[in-house]
Chain A
């Protein structure tokens, strides 16, 4: 998994790329959560993520919860087909 962070004012657009599983979950988590912690509005672009498992969904849940605590915004802006399917399956938890 690789990532890129774009900065536009207080907005941080995080682009993830590749496969998100248990092996790389900490890398993704440590990229996203500190941005939310710092009060940034985080937009997560998942258009180039080819595979995501429950580890990735957990990061989305943690990010959403933290953004609510920090009173900031966390949004998914573009989602690949494979990820969309996993999110749909996990929808009741999100």
Chain B
């Protein structure tokens, strides 16, 4: 629990759907969380969860397509000490029923990103994209 009361704040930024954008996504998040005075430990966890969600867009919604010129949007809002991170993309529609982390006894790599997101965030919701978007993922965390 963060003891600093956060002022209401919203920022969003668009990124090319490329693995090379993931560093920029992390930088954007770190800058916003610094403004929100979120403590380092929680900041690291939130940056990891957001970067994993962005990675899932690149890897799964776009199959790491090197030719796409599409963008994804990351929007971070903080209202009444509740943090909401929204992702918008126009990739392959996500079937929420198929999004799950792997079983603990399955030691093959992959699927860990979803596990990290679920461990770190309070809620993970797939919502209607709304034009021009296809996928709209919302992560929330009480501060």
Q: Which residues of A contact B (CB under 8 A)?
A: 19, 21-23, 51, 53-55, 57-59, 61-62, 65, 82, 85-86, 89-90, 92-93
Contacts and interface: CB of A to CB of B under 8 A. Distances in A.
Interface in B3-59: 19-20, 22-23, 26, 41, 44-45, 47-48, 51-52, 55, 58-59
Contacts of A22: 19, 22, 55, 58-59
Given A53-B51, A65-B107, A58 B112 contact: yes
Given A22-B55, A86-B48, A89-B116, A62 B109 contact: yes
B116 A23 contact: no
The secondary structure that dominates the A interface is helix
Of B41, B107, B112, B113, chain A has the most CB atoms within 10 Å of the CB of B112
Contact of B104 (A55, A59, A61, A92): A92
Given A54-B116, A58-B112, A89-B116, A23 B19 contact: yes
Given A21-B23, A85-B44, A92-B104, A54 B112 contact: yes
Contacts of A86: 48, 116
A23 B26 CA distance: 13
Nearest to B113: A54
Contacts of B115: 54, 90, 93
Contacts of A51: 26, 47
A46 to B, nearest CB: 15
B22 A23 contact: yes
Contacts of B45: 85
B132 interface: no
A51 B107 CA distance: 22
A90 B23 contact: no
A85 B47 CA distance: 13
B130 interface: no
Contacts of B112: 54, 57-58, 90, 93
Contacts of A93: 104, 107, 112, 115
Contacts of A62: 109
